[in-house]
Amino acid sequence: MGKNKLKRFAINAQRRNVVEPGKEIFEKIKGNWNTFFNNNNDIVLELGCGRGEYTTGLAALFPNRNYVGVDIKGARIWKGSTVAEENNLTNAAFLRIRMYELENFFVEGEVSEIWITFPDPRPVDKHEKHRLTYPKYMDAYLKIMKPGGILHLKTDNLQFHEYSLSVMEQYKDRIKSLVHTEDLYNSPMLSEHYGIQTTYERRFLLENAKINYLKVEFN
């Protein structure tokens, strides 16, 4: 492991806005996120947040909401937590876990909204169960989200977008509304993403890739 990574891990260990293994708060955070943020505002997640562009970008735009970026990569989380610190975004935090652990860190109805931004599409069929819109993940999202919860998905991968739409069909009895586009930047839905771009997204746009987007509101 490089010196840079070790240095970043050491900084994460000292930061209040990083919730990770080894910290006392890590074992106690479930059901206590509003206490952690010291308010009763809505909690919004960015799953597979990487450098946390949405976590910090949305936190800056909406100071009356709390944002939690979730990822397993500590060096990437360091970047998002640094941006949050430098900009005094006290409504932004980062949780270092694997996605299948989500239900261990949020109680039922604790979350109001979820963003999934450019996840690994896992294009090989045998890896389907690792896709972040696979039914086992959807079940977890629905469990931790309050009624009226909203799920956003942005991806450059059309196959993954279409797969996700097919999964949503299984939940149609629980869906209040679903809108989607295969070309966000030439769509009336463009404002839905608040102009925030991830590192991957900027790269894809330079390659003239089309960005797919869907937004689901649940009953």
Centre a 10 Å sphere on the Cβ of residue 26 and count the other Cβ atoms it contains. 16
> What's the CA gap between 75 and 142, in Å, rounded?
29
**Which regions of the chain does DSSP assign to beta strands (E)?**
18-19, 43-47, 66-71, 92-96, 111-117, 145-155, 175-181, 212-218
Collapsing DSSP states into helix, strand and coil, what is residue 70?
A: strand
**How many Cβ atoms are within 10 Å of 122's Cβ, its own excluded?**
17
125 is catalytic: no
3-state secondary structure of 112: strand
Between CA 73 and CA 23 the distance in angstroms is 16
Candidate list 42, 71, 120, 125, residue with the active-site label: 120
Q: Quick one: DSSP state of residue 200?
A: H
Q: Which long-range contacts (CB under 8 A, 24 or more apart) does 123-126 make?
A: 123/157, 123/159, 123/160
Residues 151, 145: Cα–Cα separation, whole Å: 9
* Tokens read off for 184: 């966000």
Q: Give me the active site residues, please.
A: 120
